[in-house]
Amino acid sequence: MFLTATWGQTMNESTKNAILACITKQGKFKGTFKRTLPRPGVERAAWLGVMLVFNPYKVGIGAVMMLTDDQRVVMDDATLWAENNQHLRFADRDRGTLETLGAW
C-alpha cells in the first residue's frame, strides 16, 4: 500500500522514517496506521500530522500543544505528505470503517 505513496523531494529522512514507524508491521492489521498515539518523540509528531488529515477526530489539542519545535516541523511535513497521498486514507482503519458505513 505504501509503495504507491509519493515521498516529496523536500521531506527529510527523519520524517519519512517517523511516518514509516507509525505503520503496523506485523499481525492481522499489517500495513495500517497504528490505532493509538505512539510514545513521545518524532513518531508521535508524524502520527499526529497524518491523523490530522486522515482522521482528525483522533487528534487531541493537548497533544499538539505539547510538541517541541522539532516535533512541530515533523508534524507539518507529515501533514503535507498525508494531503498529497489522500488515496492512503483507508490505512486508518476507523476512517475506512466510517466511509464504508457512509458516515464520513
What CA dihedral angle connects 81, 68, 31 and 14, to 10 degrees? 70
Is residue 31 in some structural domain?
Answer: no
Q: What's the domain count of the chain?
A: 1
Is residue 1 in some structural domain?
Answer: no
pTM passes above 0.95: no
Is residue 9 in some structural domain?
Answer: no
- What is the per-residue pLDDT for 4? 52
What average pLDDT score do residues 76-88 get? 88
What average pLDDT score do residues 20-24 get? 87
Is residue 10 in some structural domain?
Answer: no
Which residue range(s) make up the domain with 93? 37-104
- What is the per-residue pLDDT for 66? 92
- What is the per-residue pLDDT for 36? 85
Is residue 61 in some structural domain?
Answer: yes
Residues 6+ apart with CB under 8 A from 26: none
